[in-house]
């Protein structure tokens, strides 16, 4: 357990004072529900762009990607490169004109405008439940980590962090959440960059790290490039560290999962919808893509350094009795989730340790606030206003937004305690939400680019696309896993080389089913008139005019530069 | 409000604290052994002050342009 000193607490306290100060300074500007839920559509693109990225920088990201870096090496970068950049470019260039131009106040509301009420409601309830659950899991992970690392009381950690998020979101609405997400982005960069610098110095620079990782890979029966290259060895699932072949990676992660998340998840799209113009909204995901590309060097490399350092940096997982957990071969199972936190504790002296831990806590709170602001908007506009009180005043919906923030935080705290009490239930719920998310891109793609698709097609496509992955999961299992939450509960008919391969192919099953069912049902039902779909479908919407002075300021030019940079990174670390 | 002002304030204050602490503990070689012998508090404190100053400069420049 690590003891913090006064200087560490001073650093943390100053950060939290500024966070709350931003909420306090913005409270007078929240006059209408549009101010509270959409920032009055008044934010510049550099702010919405960094918030677009930071809203996704929750605990699971910072801790989880460090863990994957220690477990799989640089191949984890697929989640940042092919698993993010093409989708971010696509949503910015092709989908944002519909989200922003249709004046929809949320992603479910776009579904209402394009399809019908039942499709919107199906999406709104699933999304609202998912945000509460994600926020709760983030809180639970933070409370557990701070207890393990610093000996802080679990209840106090959760309640204090929840109170801080509640205060600044209730006071300043979405603007406060976005401003603090940008602040948290810089804190994470400045908290983790010195960790990489010092860590690389400890292992003899980049070359020293790669040679140590080559030795570690060989020792584990993998090719020596397994931890330091991203595409080499992807020809077969057995010759790379993550256990999946290139086609499953490109289709499952690069297409279905990444487009499903970055193009349809209201948590991130809401940031772009707060931008001050159509051009700013289109630039938002493109601006986010630039730091996103380089984030592997900030969050994955610390895990790789931990693996290269050896020295028992990564502790063993413990059983309930407190003894090291052993796998079926009698080897100690390492707790990779502690790779990044242990690096902070081992490499940072007093002072910098306070900054590093503040960055870690900032990432937890960033994810929590992002989920809560998305929840309060969907609850107020897509559930409360749509089904409970349809004709109230704007002041009433502003009040309801604040109440939804309080309710959302309270439910998140409850979810955190459920996560602590029933770990397997949370794992199961995580799986269920993966089923809900995977088919979404098919619905949106057909809605935006095929005017013949209908509300009935979208609804039944989404429904079938949620059931199909559940069935696929029930008949498949990863090598070495036991039937249950991990799959195979209907009997094992398909076997995958790794859990990641199983996840990616489950997503492909969801997308394909949703896509096919939506088309078939749409062809059997009556479409809406063209006049009703103007501004909602690509072929019926004028090409957006960018208010830029020179050709190189156009979002499409920016997008090409971003894609070229991503290709270059993949070539450099092939 | 221009977000660059609170960012500048936070980074200059935190950077100054780390810099002063780094100067005060500079002779404590045992303390900085873990960070590869680098006085990381001093070095990173200065980097944070510079970043804060840049953010302040950008905000001031934007305000001047707006009023021109």
Q: What is the pLDDT of residues A303-324, one digit of tens each?
A: 999 989 876 678 887 777 777 8
Residue for token pair 């979405």: A174
Note the pLDDT tens digit of each residue in A418-439: 877 765 555 666 567 677 778 8
* Domain A6-314+331-416, CATH: 1.20.1730.10
Backbone angles phi, psi at A496, to 5 degrees: -115, 150
* Pairing status of strand A476-478 against strand A494-496: parallel
Residue A524 is encoded by which pair of tokens? 């059997």
CB contact under 8 A, B38 and A7: no
Residue A226 is encoded by which pair of tokens? 């397994």
Contacts of residue A242, defined as CB under 8 A and 6 or more positions apart, other chains included, come to: A72, A75, A76, A78, A498, A500
Tell me the C-alpha to C-alpha distance, in Å, between residue A561 and each of A57, A77, A555, A564.
24, 19, 10, 5
CB contact under 8 A, B40 and A190: no
Domain ranges of chain A: 6-314+331-416, 424-542
Between helix A352-377 and helix A117-150 the angle, nearest 10°, is: 160
Name the nearest CA neighbour of B48 among B9, B5, B1, B3: B9
Nearest CA in chain B to A26: B1
Nearest chain B Cα distance for residue A180, angstroms: 9
Spatial separation of the C-alpha atoms in residues A484 and A473, rounded to whole Å: 10
pLDDT tens for chain A, residues 1 to 574: 677 888 899 998 999 899 999 898 987 778 788 889 988 888 999 999 999 988 877 776 788 889 989 988 989 898 899 899 999 999 999 889 889 988 798 999 999 899 989 899 988 999 999 888 788 888 888 887 888 778 888 888 888 989 999 999 988 999 999 998 998 799 889 998 999 989 998 889 988 998 989 998 887 788 878 888 888 888 887 778 878 778 888 888 888 888 988 998 898 899 899 998 888 998 899 999 999 999 899 889 999 999 898 766 788 877 777 778 777 777 777 888 889 888 888 788 989 889 998 998 888 788 889 989 999 999 999 999 998 888 799 889 999 998 999 999 999 999 888 877 765 555 666 567 677 778 889 999 999 989 889 999 999 998 999 899 989 889 898 878 878 877 887 888 888 888 778 888 889 999 999 999 999 999 999 898 889 887 888 888 887 767 676 777 778 898 989 999 999 999 988 8
Residues 3-22 of B with CB under 8 A from A: 3, 6-7, 9-11, 13-14, 17-18, 21-22
Residue A203 is encoded by which pair of tokens? 């292992």
Whether chain B has a CB inside 8 Å of the CB on A21: the answer is yes
Q: What angle do CA A385, A376, A445 make, to 5 degrees?
A: 80
How many CB contacts within 8 angstroms connect chain A with chain B? 78
Sign of torsion over alpha carbons A186, A341, A375, A269: positive
Tell me the C-alpha to C-alpha distance, in Å, between residue A122 and each of A29, A126, A134, A185, A381.
33, 6, 18, 33, 14
**Helix and strand counts by DSSP (H, E) for chain B:** 2, 0
Give 3-state DSSP helix, strand, coil % of chain B, rounded to 5: 70, 0, 30
Across the interface, of A21, A22, A347, the residue whose CB is closest to B34 is: A347
Sign of torsion over alpha carbons A109, A430, A263, A37: positive
Name the nearest CA neighbour of A96 among A116, A110, A83, A82: A110
Domain ranges of chain B: 4-67
Residue A301 is encoded by which pair of tokens? 């490399």
Spatial separation of the C-alpha atoms in residues A93 and A101, rounded to whole Å: 13
Spatial separation of the C-alpha atoms in residues B49 and B56, rounded to whole Å: 11
Quickly count: other Cβ atoms within 10 Å of residue A574's Cβ.
Answer: 11
Whether chain A has a CB inside 8 Å of the CB on B49: the answer is no
CB contact under 8 A, B34 and A348: yes
Tell me the C-alpha to C-alpha distance, in Å, between residue A184 and each of A77, A156, A191, A367, A413.
22, 21, 10, 10, 21
Residue for token pair 């039944």: A460
Residue A490 is encoded by which pair of tokens? 């209907």
Partners of residue A275 on adjacent β-strands: A43
Q: Give residue A423's Cα distance to chain centre.
A: 21
CB contact under 8 A, B38 and A198: yes
Quickly count: other Cβ atoms within 10 Å of residue A534's Cβ.
Answer: 12
Whether chain A has a CB inside 8 Å of the CB on B1: the answer is yes
Residue A90 is encoded by which pair of tokens? 């696509």
Whether chain B has a CB inside 8 Å of the CB on A349: the answer is yes
Nearest chain B Cα distance for residue A198, angstroms: 6
Are B58 and B7 in contact, with CB atoms under 8 Å apart?
no
Chain A positions touching B11 (Cβ under 8 A) are 186, 190
Tell me the C-alpha to C-alpha distance, in Å, between residue A215 and each of A237, A296, A302.
20, 22, 18
Of the residues B44, B45, B51, the best mutation for testing chain A's interface (the one with the most A CB atoms within 10 Å of its CB) is: B44
CB contact under 8 A, A14 and B34: no
Largest CA distance in chain B: 54
Chain B positions touching A21 (Cβ under 8 A) are 6
Nearest CA in chain A to B45: A352
Residue for token pair 């560490």: A8
SS3 of A507-544: the string is: HHHHHHHHHHHHHHHHHHCCCCCHHHHCCCCHHHCCCC
Across the interface, of B3, B13, B44, the residue whose CB is closest to A352 is: B44
Partners of residue A334 on adjacent β-strands: A316
Whether chain A has a CB inside 8 Å of the CB on B53: the answer is no
Name the nearest CA neighbour of A194 among A298, A59, A70: A298
């Amino acid at each position: 357990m690590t003891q913090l000193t006064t200087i560490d607490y001073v650093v943390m306290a100053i950060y939290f004072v500024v966070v709350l100060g931003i909420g306090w300074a913005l409270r007078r500007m929240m006059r209408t529900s549009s101010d509270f839920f959409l920032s009055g559509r008044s934010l510049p693109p550099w702010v919405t762009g960094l918030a677009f990225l930071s809203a996704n920088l929750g605990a699971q990201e910072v801790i989880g990607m460090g863990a994957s870096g220690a477990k799989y090496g640089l191949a984890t970068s697929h989640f940042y490169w092919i698993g993010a950049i093409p989708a971010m470019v696509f949503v910015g260039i092709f989908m944002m004109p519909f989200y922003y131009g249709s004046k929809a106040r949320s992603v479910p509301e776009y579904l209402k405008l394009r399809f019908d009420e039942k499709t919107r409601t199906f999406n709104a309830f699933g999304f609202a439940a998912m945000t509460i659950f994600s926020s709760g899991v983030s809180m639970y992970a933070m409370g557990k980590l701070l207890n393990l690392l610093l000996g802080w009381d679990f209840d106090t950690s959760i309640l204090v962090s929840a109170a801080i998020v509640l205060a600044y979101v209730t006071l300043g609405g979405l603007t406060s959440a976005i401003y603090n997400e940008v602040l948290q982005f810089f804190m994470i960069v400045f908290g983790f960059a010195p960790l990489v610098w010092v860590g690389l110095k400890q292992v003899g620079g980049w070359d020293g790290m790669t040679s140590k990782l080559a030795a570690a890979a060989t020792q584990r029966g993998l090719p020596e490039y397994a931890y330091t290259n991203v595409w080499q060895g992807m020809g077969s699932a057995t010759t790379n560290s993550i256990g999946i072949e290139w086609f499953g990676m490109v289709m499952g992660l690069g297409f279905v999962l990444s487009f499903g998340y970055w193009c349809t998840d209201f948590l991130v799209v809401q940031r772009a919808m707060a931008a001050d113009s159509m051009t700013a909204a289109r630039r938002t995901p493109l601006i986010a893509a630039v730091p996103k590309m380089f984030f592997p060097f900030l969050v994955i490399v610390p895990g790789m350094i931990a693996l290269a350092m050896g020295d028992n940096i990564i502790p063993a997982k413990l059983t309930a009795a407190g003894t090291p957990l052993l796998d079926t071969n009698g080897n100690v199972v390492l707790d990779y989730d502690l790779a990044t936190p242990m690096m902070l504790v081992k490499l940072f002296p007093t002072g910098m340790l306070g900054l590093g831990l503040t960055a870690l806590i900032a990432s937890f709170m960033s994810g929590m606030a992002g989920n809560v602001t998305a929840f309060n908007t969907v609850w107020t506009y897509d559930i409360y206003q749509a089904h409970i009180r349809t004709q109230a005043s704007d002041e009433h919906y502003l009040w309801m937004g604040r109440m939804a923030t309080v309710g959302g935080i309270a439910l998140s705290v409850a979810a955190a305690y459920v996560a602590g009490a029933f770990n397997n239930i949370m794992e199961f719920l995580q799986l269920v939400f993966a089923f809900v998310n995977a088919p979404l891109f098919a619905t949106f793609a057909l809605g935006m680019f095929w005017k013949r698709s209908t509300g009935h097609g979208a609804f039944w496509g989404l429904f079938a696309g949620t059931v199909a992955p559940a069935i696929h999961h029930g008949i498949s299992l990863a090598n070495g896993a036991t039937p249950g939450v991990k799959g195979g509960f209907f009997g094992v008919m398909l076997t995958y080389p790794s859990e990641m391969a199983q996840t990616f192919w489950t997503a492909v099953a969801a997308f394909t089913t949703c896509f096919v069912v939506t088309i078939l049902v749409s062809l059997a039902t009556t479409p809406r008139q063209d006049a009703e779909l103007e501004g909602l479908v690509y072929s019926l919407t004028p090409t957006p005019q960018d208010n830029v002075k020179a050709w190189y300021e156009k979002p499409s030019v920016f997008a090409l530069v971003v894609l070229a940079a991503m290709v270059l990174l993949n070539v450099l670390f092939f | 409000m221009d977000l660059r002002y609170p960012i500048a304030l936070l980074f200059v204050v935190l950077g100054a604290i780390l810099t002063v602490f780094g100067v005060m503990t500079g002779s404590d070689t045992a303390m900085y052994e873990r960070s590869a012998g680098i006085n990381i508090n001093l070095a990173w404190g200065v980097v944070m002050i510079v970043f804060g100053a840049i953010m302040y400069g950008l905000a001031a420049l934007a305000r001047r342009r707006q009023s021109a």
